[in-house]
Structure formats: C-alpha cells, structure tokens
Amino acid sequence: MDKLETALQKYFDYDSFRLGQREIIEDILAKKHVFATLPTGSGKSLCYQLPAYMLDGVVLVVTPLLSLMEDQIRQLKKRGFKQVVAINSFKTASERALIFNDLSTYKLIYLSPEMLQKKIIKQKLSQLTIALFVIDEAHCISQWGHEFRPDYLKLNEIIDQLGQPTVLALTATATSDVQQDIVNHFDTIQFNKHIYPVDRDNIAFMVQNVNNRVDKDKFLIDLFTKLTVPTIIYFSSKKESERVALLLSEKFNQLSIAFYHGDLDTNERLLIQEQFIEDQINIICSTSAFGMGVDKQNVRLVIHYHLPTQIESFIQEVGRAGRDQLESVSIALIAPGDKQLPLKLILNELPPVDILELITTHMNQTNQEWIQIVPSMITDIWGLNETQWRFIKNFFEETGILIDEDKINIKKITPMLRRDFIRKVEERNRYKLRKLNELFEWIDTKDCRREQLFKDFQTSVRSAKYHCCDRCGFEVEQWSPESVVRKQTASSWSDQLKSVLLPFKVGGIDNG
Ligand SMILES: [Zn+2]
C-alpha cells in the first residue's frame, strides 16, 4: 500500500480509489492545477477531501449547492473530521462572526459563490494559507453551462488576490464547448486535464408516451405491482410529488413511500435521505432537490414524471441510478403538453423585461442618488425571486449601477441601458429554450437514445452492458430486477418517520 492508499484507508476506510481519483489527487499534491470532469456519483468530493487531510494549509471549496455543503460537512463530521465549516446564507450574521474568529482553525471551508464576493470574507481569507482552491460545479462559469452563475466569473480575480493557490475545477456534466469555455476563462492557469466519460453503460433508457396524467399514474401503479426496487421519481412540482406519493402509498401498503422537496425542513430531509439509503423507504417522489450528495449505490430505477429544463440535469438525475454498476433503468413519462411546465420554469428564472422601469419608478420616489437595497424591496415590491434578482444584480454590477453589494445608482438607469437589459434577458431566454428543445428532440429521436443523450459530452459512447434503450428494442417487461424488500425500521427512526409520513396516513394533503 502506498502513501495515498494508506491515507484513503485511514481517513475514509476505503480500500481503493475509484476511476480518476488517484490521478487527480496526485496532481493536486504535486501543486498542479487540475480541470476534471467526473460523472455524478463517482466520488468527486473525495478529490479535495482527502487532500484536505494531507495538505498544509486550507482547502477552499466554492459550490452553489448549499444542501450539498451541509451534507458533506455532516458526513465528514461523522467520520471524525471536525475542522470543516460552511459559510453560506443559511448562517446568521452572528454565526458567521463566530466562524470568522476561528477561521484559521479550519482545514476545509465550503463557500457559496455569493459569500465569496463579500469584502469581509475576502479579507479574512487573505490572511490564511490556501493550499487548494476548489471550483465545484465549474460549468457555472460558462454562459453556455446549464446553470450559469455570474459570480463564478469573478473567481479568477479572487484566485489572484489569494496568491494563486493550486486550483481544482470540477464538473460532472460539461459539453466539449463548455469545457473549452472553462479552460479559456482561466487564461493564466495551466490546467492538467482529466476528462472522464459521463455515459453509463449499465442504465437502459426508455420513453413512455402517454395521453395524460391519469395514464402516468396508471403506468406507475402497473409497474410497482410487478417490481419493488429502490426508485426515485422526479417531478417539477412539489404538489404533484406529494399527490403521487399519497396515491402510491394508498395502493401499495407494503411499500414505504415518501415525498421530498424544498419545503421540508432540514431534519425531515436528512431523515428521508437516511431511510432511503438504508432501504427503509422504497420510493421517493421528489423534485430536483433530491439526490445531490445522496450516496446510495443500489437505486435501480429513475423515473421522470416531469422533465427538467435541459439534458445536463436529466443526465445528472438519471446518473443516480445504478452506482453499483448493476442493471438499472431510466423511464421518462411524456404526455402531450409536457413542454409547458419546463417552459414556465424557464420564464420564472428570468426577470420580467420591464422590471427596470418598475425599479426606477419606485426608487425615484426617494429622490436620492444612491439607494440601499433591502431584501423586502426585491421580493415584496419588485416581486422577484432569487434567480431573477441574481440576474439583475449581475447586470447592475457589470454596468456600474450597483456598488458595495447593495447600493444602486438610480440616475444611471438610462433608456439605452434598459434596452441593453432587455436584449440580455431575451438572449438568455433564447438560450434556455434551445436547451429545452434539445431535450425534447431527444424524446422524439428515432435513433439510439444512449448515443444521442451522451454524444455532445464525449467523442464515443460505450455500448450497453445490459439492455440499451427502447429504440434498440428494450421493453421494461424484459427487465426482472431483484426485489428489495423494505427493511424493518428501528423504533426511534420509525417514530421520527411517522411525523414525515403522517400526511399519507391521514390523507390530509391539500392537493389544491
Ligand atoms: Zn440504444
């Protein structure tokens, strides 16, 4: 056993590295910058967590995924690693102040990109020795990435300010264009590239066309009458995830079924995740909120009751099946009109084009030049959600209208600027629609679904280890997976679970 394996065994209790991990970690320890694409579920986080134990200095991880941060910290603490902390909007100002006091005692610090823009944080970080700067979800740098985060564009500058530590840029799904975009963005950094394929040869793909929601429900009921395997069903609507969870619970007494979405509190969510991992819950009806950081090996089936808004998200969600490399299946249920819901989601992500007029009208009443923005203005007066506000804020920053994070100069919002803004919103909208169309073209494809799904992400796609796809002749009837029976719940768990599942038992969900 060499030094790295010894460390892996000592800190994580694993016997061997997964694909790519060793090569990436060796480069990092040799102070080489690394750009890596590793598929979902392949152990991306270990690539910086193990170095955090081994390096002198701090490992900084920038990630937009707040729940993933919290999950990873919980898991690390469970393993006995206490020198880890997250700085994000979940923390109150006083909690943050406490963290800042002890900042030098941490080995691994998770940060949201928004937090990293704050002066006080930059100043505190500059006093530390940063051994490794990790850019998680690196595709957020690219305009053409599926989740562009304007704040990611400023990472370059921050890396310089921190004295150019070793950089690790990681992503699970980036097309070759996006990969190039990421590397180009950091023009002063020479990356060693580790690109691993994202395709999954153990998952069979199928699309089931149905007439309506009733048929989707019926399909699920028929399917679960025949098989019981660990399953995630994805929805775009919280209400629908609850409705179907209730419906299936009523039909299948012997199965344990839960819904999962952003309205549940952290404890409920953690509980459901644990239960699912332990096979105490069979089926999760969830929004896209579920899956990040849930390390479950034997998910056999991922069903899309609704589709996400782009292929990258679809690949990530499907990729939660079959991490144990055994045969697994992806089923997308499609009814006429199914494009409407993702269309609505896309529209909801972009600010209304006339928002600048609303903002100037509102601000003009105060008669001041620089006006401080408070959160209630954003949500209550302007009616914006977080994503919409992020878009506007970035535009304001780029055009010098916003300074010190929250002061805007109303006089600078000229008619010309308003036109620029509208052009920007429209451009983004077109891009999003194009991404959505890609996904629907995939739904309609007559060719092999596996090849079509992964073709933009890698030069060649492996052939299927088990079944391939419906276009290549796969039917779900051919699939006979081993049943996973529900495990007995420990009493304390069971009591806690009741509180989560209670709505099912009493049928008290308001379906509106
Ligand atoms: Zn095929």
CA–CA dist 46, 392 (Å, integer) = 35
- Could you state, in chain order, the average pLDDT of each consecutive group of 10 residues for the chain (512 residues)? 92 91 97 91 89 95 86 88 89 87 93 89 93 94 77 90 94 87 90 91 96 97 95 96 96 94 87 92 92 84 96 92 94 95 89 88 76 87 89 88 83 90 92 93 97 91 95 93 70 50 37 29
Enter the pTM of the model: 0.83
Same domain? For 55 and 161 the reply is: yes
Based on the structure, what is the number of domains in the chain? 2
Q: What residues does the ion ligand 1 have nearby, CB within 5 Å?
A: 448, 450, 468-469, 472
The 10 Å Cβ neighbour count of residue 295 is 13
* Residue 399 lies inside a defined structural domain of this protein: no
* Residue 409 lies inside a defined structural domain of this protein: no
Same domain? For 116 and 262 the reply is: no
Q: Which of 209, 199, 212 is nearest to 444 (CA)?
A: 209
Same domain? For 151 and 245 the reply is: no
* Residue 281 lies inside a defined structural domain of this protein: yes
What pLDDT, on a 0 to 100 scale, did the predictor assign at position 227?
92
State the CATH number of the domain containing residue 105.
3.40.50.300
Buried b (16+ CB within 10 A) or exposed e, 357-393: eebeeebeeeeeeebebeeebbeeebebeeebbbbbb
Phi, psi at 368, each rounded to 5°: -105, 160
Span between the terminal Cα atoms of the chain, in Å: 60
Same domain? For 305 and 171 the reply is: no
Same domain? For 100 and 191 the reply is: yes
Contact 457, 310 (CB under 8 A): no
Same domain? For 28 and 53 the reply is: yes
Q: Tell me how far the alpha carbon of residue 185 lies from the centroid of ligand 1, in angstroms.
A: 36
What pLDDT, on a 0 to 100 scale, did the predictor assign at position 491?
45
Q: Tell me how far the alpha carbon of residue 341 lies from the centroid of ligand 1, in angstroms.
A: 27
Q: Tell me how far the alpha carbon of residue 476 lies from the centroid of ligand 1, in angstroms.
A: 14
Q: Which of 436, 434, 462, 433 is nearest to 448 (CA)?
A: 462
Residue that terminates a domain, selected from 195, 223, 252 = 195
* Residue 416 lies inside a defined structural domain of this protein: no
Same domain? For 73 and 149 the reply is: yes
Q: Tell me how far the alpha carbon of residue 457 lies from the centroid of ligand 1, in angstroms.
A: 17
Q: Tell me how far the alpha carbon of residue 282 lies from the centroid of ligand 1, in angstroms.
A: 28
| Tokens found for residue 93 | 């100002």
Q: Tell me how far the alpha carbon of residue 327 lies from the centroid of ligand 1, in angstroms.
A: 15
* Residue 415 lies inside a defined structural domain of this protein: no
Q: Tell me how far the alpha carbon of residue 425 lies from the centroid of ligand 1, in angstroms.
A: 37
Q: Tell me how far the alpha carbon of residue 304 lies from the centroid of ligand 1, in angstroms.
A: 18
Same domain? For 59 and 83 the reply is: yes
What pLDDT, on a 0 to 100 scale, did the predictor assign at position 502?
43
Same domain? For 85 and 153 the reply is: yes
| Tokens found for residue 456 | 């933009």
Q: Tell me how far the alpha carbon of residue 219 lies from the centroid of ligand 1, in angstroms.
A: 22
What pLDDT, on a 0 to 100 scale, did the predictor assign at position 146?
65
Domain region containing 209: 203-319+328-342+468-501
* Residue 298 lies inside a defined structural domain of this protein: yes
Same domain? For 227 and 165 the reply is: no
